[in-house]
């Protein structure tokens, strides 16, 4: 791996560790719909600030969009799906922060296999083994980890969250390749922002989002994570790797959750976290 790739990995890890603990208190204070609302509301200023520099790039992208209408539609769909991904992750976060960072391993395995089999990402067998092993570990977490505490409704939400989190990386791989990173980022987040108004975002909520310290801080961190993801995907790291290294924050988050929120025992959380790290080693150490 290059120095740039290692820097991208550290950024993904750092933000991914902080984010769950900023979103958890808000999950207890506000409805789950609020998470995608304050996240995309804080992404929009970054987009507006980028426009003076990137607007010519968007104009140049128009022929590309016309040449790939399916990817354009998928990009708009991604904006809707990521809204729901945030919502259901926040529903889970309300009761189990550990589950919030662990269920995406199942999504990652599903998405990676789909991308590799149908869209020719051509990951090495050792890398595929690691990712699939993490997916199996995620399934085992449902029965032996903190997810086992969930109610029947909670488990349904868990499955829904897995679905949305699995579809999004597949769309990332297709559409970013066709449209380019910035065009994809711009269209998908504008679509998400517009969709948020259809689901309840309004001026009163926007005022709360930009003037309340804990909401604003969480929104900025969430926005930074999305910007980092789109910045490194495909060209710096493969989409599967980007999703994977975000999830490697899980061991730290899980141990903190055991101490702070009494989610299982530190030993239980460490076992799952260390196994996740063990399965990650082939990706980290092998080309």
Which of 280, 255, 228 lies closest to 10 in space, CA to CA?
228
DSSP state for residue 246 in the 8-state scheme: H
Question: CA torsion 233→77→117→143, rounded to 10°?
Answer: 90
Q: How would residue 286 be classed by pLDDT, with cut points 50, 70 and 90?
A: low
DSSP state for residue 44 in the 8-state scheme: H
pLDDT of residue 285: 59
pLDDT of residue 133: 87
Residue 206 clears pLDDT 90, i.e. is over it:
yes
Mean pLDDT of 46-64: 90
pLDDT one-digit tens code per residue, 259-279: 999 888 888 888 887 887 788
The mean predicted confidence, pLDDT, of the chain is 87
Q: How would residue 84 be classed by pLDDT, with cut points 50, 70 and 90?
A: very high
Q: Is the pTM of this model over 0.85?
A: yes
pLDDT of residue 11: 86
User: How far is the C-alpha of 239 from the C-alpha of 8, rounded, in Å?
Assistant: 13
Mean pLDDT of 139-152: 85
Stronger pLDDT, 120 or 168, i.e. the higher one: 168
Q: Highest mean pLDDT: which of 109-118, 128-137, 258-267?
A: 258-267
């Amino acid at each position: 791996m290059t120095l740039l790739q290692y820097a991208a990995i550290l950024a993904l890890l750092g933000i991914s560790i902080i984010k769950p603990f900023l979103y958890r208190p808000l999950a207890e204070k506000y409805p789950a719909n609020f998470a995608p609302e304050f996240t995309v509301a804080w992404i929009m200023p970054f987009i507006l600030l980028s426009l003076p520099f990137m607007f010519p790039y968007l104009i140049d992208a128009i022929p590309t969009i016309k040449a790939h209408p399916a990817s354009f539609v998928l990009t708009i769909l991604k904006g809707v799906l990521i809204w729901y991904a945030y919502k259901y992750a926040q529903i889970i976060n309300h009761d189990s922060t550990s589950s919030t960072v662990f269920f995406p391993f199942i999504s990652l395995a599903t998405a990676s296999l789909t991308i590799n089999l149908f869209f020719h990402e051509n990951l090495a067998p050792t890398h595929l083994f690691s990712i699939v092993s993490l997916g199996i570990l995620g399934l085992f977490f449902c029965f032996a980890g903190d997810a086992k505490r969930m109610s029947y409704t909670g488990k349904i939400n868990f499955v829904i969250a897995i679905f949305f989190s699995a579809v999004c990386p597949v769309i990332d791989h297709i559409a970013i390749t066709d449209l380019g990173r910035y065009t994809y980022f711009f269209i998908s987040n504008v679509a998400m922002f517009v969709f948020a108004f259809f689901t309840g975002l309004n001026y009163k909520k926007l005022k709360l989002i930009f003037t309340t310290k804990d909401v604003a801080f969480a929104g900025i961190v969430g926005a930074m994570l999305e910007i980092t993801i789109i910045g490194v995907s495909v060209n710096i790291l493969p989409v599967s790797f980007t999703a994977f290294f975000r999830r490697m924050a899980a061991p730290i988050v899980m141990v903190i959750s055991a101490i702070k929120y009494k989610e299982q025992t530190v030993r239980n959380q460490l076992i799952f976290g260390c196994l996740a790290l063990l399965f990650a080693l082939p990706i980290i150490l092998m080309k």
